[in-house]
Structure 1
Amino acid sequence: MAELAGTTDILDGPRARGAFLLRVLMEPPWALEIAEDAPLTVVAVLTGGFWLRCADRAPQQLVAGDVLLVRGATRYLLSDEPTTAPDIHIGPGQACSGTDGRDLSEELATGVRAWGNDAAGRDTMLVASYPQEVQLGTVLAAALPRIAVVNAAESPLLPVLVAEAARDALGQEAVLDRILDVVLISVVRDWAAEAPAGLAGLRVVTDPAVAEAVRLIKAEPSRAWTVDELAAAAGVSRSVLARRFQAVVGVPPIGYLAQWRLSLAADLLRDTRRTLASVSREVGYGGPFSLSAAFKKAYGVSPAAYRSEVSA
């Protein structure tokens, strides 16, 4: 556990915005063929269970308490039994159709953020997807494998997320986004603790030079850091830091600095007392226009629109 001491800080990246959440309620027999393209999909088994089937992997049974993490455009099957043929296809954008091609999105809707072949089904799960990779944070996006299974995940806020998913109240989307971030961090922490050999990007915790560079960036995000300055402070050469940072984090040091600045800006924008100019200065942008351009490219909306959404 000593190696994971810095994981909480390293995982300070997820910033969901408009995440997709759905309670899926299924009664056997059932099988879903999933070809979604979200950067990250989280599937938490609530009751009953299912079998996971995908290429290059033996069928695996998941039961209540287990959580499945799927990165990117990975095709996989979830079913009540390992031999059940899929009768529902889930495609990009959560579009769902039957074997005859008809749209099942509305046909199988059973309530607020609820969908399935039986509202009282034996097998239930919560499905959540992050729509953009920038919302995961650079380190986390680089760390996770294509598919990860976390058995008996300990996430105290998961029941809260399930309960809130069934509500349709003012500002509910923002509430769900924030809870989902915490649930994801706790699940990834459990995964890292159980599979230390597969930490991938989380190796930043055990690489002192990279860890120091990350610490400096987070301590002074407004500073115009260069790779040379970060390397000198970390006690290694420029080329060594650049190579190790890229291998561990998945992006160059300056790319990580840019991502962290935007994540921090997203947090600061929640405080309506702050002006865009003050936020720009605090995160190292020359002014509101340069921050607005970078923020819109990353998040798909302007800082002002983002503030309106999260403050609603």
Structure 2
Amino acid sequence: MAFATIVIPHWLSPKWLQICLASLKATKNERDYEIWIADNSAPHPSIKAIDNRLGEGVRLIDVPDIMKTPALVLDWAIDKVNTSYLFSVETDIRFMKDGWLDWYASFVRDEYVAMVGWYWEIESHDDTRHYIAPAATLYNIEVLKILKAECVANKQLVQSYGLNYEKRIPITATGTVEEMILTGQWGPFTERRGFLNSSPFDRPEVFWHDTGSWLFYRAECQWECARIPGQWVKQQGYSMPDVKLAYYGDSEADAYIIHYWAGGVSHSFKIGIMQGWSGQCVEWWLRREHRLWLETVPEDIREDSISKGIIPDLEEELKFALSMVREGG
């Protein structure tokens, strides 16, 4: 049996999907794995980006429409995975060298390690997000099943949060989740009830949650959460994000995995207006994505994808993206 099941929620970007899969398939590990992809973009046709040899051996999983978010896809997969580990992957992940899965596995000392991943932290300031996010993280499936059962059993629809958990907010005010909680379509990646104040400082005025944050804090109460080495790479410049990437490994040059960030938000122009930070950065993001696509994806796949209209012309896509940008926000 395979060691892990790689679960990749896909949304809107055919280039990122090809970059992720092409880099994954170019690497070798001693441990075997399965690859599952959930298409959260339908009816958008971007999933056709793997109608070629990149899609060979890949299972397209049929997730209920109500669960087509990155977090809920992972929650859905918990009960379906038959391997001992689930490896969550965002499409803006690039696998850089052989042995990446074996490297993660080397941190698993025993069955009481709940997860292995990069601890999200910015040294220069507290951004309230100190946890292991599921961008490229190895999870113990038995721990996930225990925590999913805990989430499903909890039918309360009020969130307590803030200093000493004195504040209250209806769950319905934090997203359309009531139906999923009451019908058991809810799990530890999406969970937000019982959210721990982020260290090192309490932020009692803020209710903040992201995919996998509750899971990390809850798991830390009972199991080991192993942290792999890695670091942010910052940059400065006009109309570009201050975070260029995060590498997982001892250095950027010797990284096992690189997380480029904004693979999803950079394509939000396809569903509506972009404003503020995302609107300012969209051109930089799309040009970077195109450069990585040229570097990573085999030429015959690129040419076939262009000829079939799966991959749009870069300049035409940029023109449309910039037409969807508005000031403010």
Larger % of helix: which? 1
Question: Normalising to structure 1: TM-score of the pair?
Answer: 0.29
Structure with higher Rg: it is 1
Question: Normalising to structure 2: TM-score of the pair?
Answer: 0.28
